Amino acid sequence: MKSKKKILLAPLDWGLGHASRCIPIANQLIDHGFEVIFAASGRPMHLLMNDFPKHDFIKLEGYHIHYPKNGQMAYSMMTQSLKIWQGIRREHSLLQSIIDTYQIDGVISDNRYGLYSTKVPCVFITHQLNIQAPILSSFIRKINHKYINRFSQCWIPDTPQHQLSGILSSPIPSNIDCKYVGSLSRFKKLKKTEDLDILAVISGPEPQRTVFEKLLRKELKKNSNKALLVLGKTEDHNVEHHQQLKIVGHLNSEELNQAMVNADIIISRSGYSTIMDIAMLHKKAIFVPTPGQTEQLYLAKYFYDQKMAYAMHQNQFDLDLALNDIKSFNGICIENESVNWTELFDIF
């Protein structure tokens, strides 16, 4: 007889953001007496294994999506649509055997569309019910809602006031059972341990991850501010020193938490998980959205218009200009309402 219910927790493999925002959910599950089994691959798996070394992991390949160098995201996604559809079908088929083999009682999928089943309750996590797209937006949203509706419930990582996601999570389709779970950050407020002018964090799929890395290396090396550049490579343990600039491949959750607290300004993509972390710590940020990534472009403009975060396009990035202009911005901070996790977990 099982002593604990087993929950499969599986993030999408596009960068580290989906995995990082699964960390607070995993901790809540553990605190509420569930056994968590992770399904992931690549760098997301390495990130989760570092935080949960004693837990079981299942290697579940992602969709292997690549972002274009030229920023033509819509065209690129269309050309990769068959690969995405095949990935969804593959993971849906694998899930059925995983449920039986590991005696899974429930599934929480962060943006993995194939992880639904009629055998157990399945939850889908997303802040994008209203996907922004330059073309075929109505069709894309229809397909998005069709897949989400195959899950038992949808959890939105934001407040009911849409403080972080704006129109991305509104309106909610009437046929989808949605619950707000608040801002999901693995970080907490700490005391400063050192003074750091700039923390730059790189994330996201290739080749744009490397393009961003090269840009930041160049800009930070010629700047006089004390800076730390985190490459987002979980497998890279090298450390470089260039006068006032330190470069590391990866920081674990505790180290990155402290670095964000220490930093006066954070430079990053405008990915949603990063935004939730910045909001948790009430930090000033310079966002450089991934070229052509409509969600990041929208969020960068959304916070720029509210004078909460500075934003600059990658092909126009000028660190000195950004550091001067950010002085009039206030930083991201929201009032996060308490979440009744006991009630949410009743679905299992």
Reported as a single tens digit per residue, the pLDDT across 217-259 is: 999 999 999 999 999 888 888 899 999 999 999 999 999 999 9
Which CATH number is 196-328's, of 3.90.1150.10, 3.40.225.10, 3.40.1190.20, 3.40.50.2000? 3.40.50.2000
Q: Assess whether pLDDT exceeds 60 at residue 44.
A: yes
Is it true that 6-184+337-347 and 196-328 share their CATH fold? yes
The alpha helices in the chain, defined as continuous H runs, are 17-31, 42-51, 73-79, 81-102, 137-148, 208-221, 253-262, 272-281, 294-305, 319-325, 341-344
Could you say which of 3.90.1150.10, 3.40.630.40, 1.25.40.10, 3.40.50.2000 is the CATH number of the domain covering 6-184+337-347?
3.40.50.2000
> What are the residues whose beta carbons fall under 8 Å from the beta carbon of 215, sequence distance 6 or more?
288, 314, 317
Distances (CA, A) of 228 to 111, 241, 255, 336: 30, 10, 12, 29
Give the integer Cα–Cα distance in Å for 329 and 129.
29
Q: What is the pLDDT of residue 34?
A: 98
Report d(CA 172, CA 185) in Å as an integer: 23
CA 13 – CA 209 distance, rounded (Å): 14
Q: Are 17 and 203 in contact (CB under 8 A)?
A: yes
pLDDT at 45 over 70: yes
Contact (CB, 8 A) for 290 and 264: no
pLDDT in tens, 53-100: 999 999 999 876 666 666 566 556 666 677 788 889 999 999 999 999
The dihedral over CA atoms of 143, 149, 155, 161, expressed in degrees to the nearest 10, equals 70
pLDDT of residue 177: 95
Q: Are 30 and 59 in contact (CB under 8 A)?
A: no
Comparing 70 with 262, the larger pLDDT belongs to: 262
The ranges assigned to domains in the chain are 6-184+337-347, 196-328
Q: What percentage of the chain carries pLDDT values higher than 90?
A: 78
How many beta carbons lie within 10 A of that of residue 3, not counting itself? 6
Task: Pick the range with the lowest mean pLDDT from 19-28, 74-83, 273-282.
Answer: 74-83
Helices (H) and strands (E) counted in the chain, each on its own, are 11, 14
Average pLDDT, the chain: 92
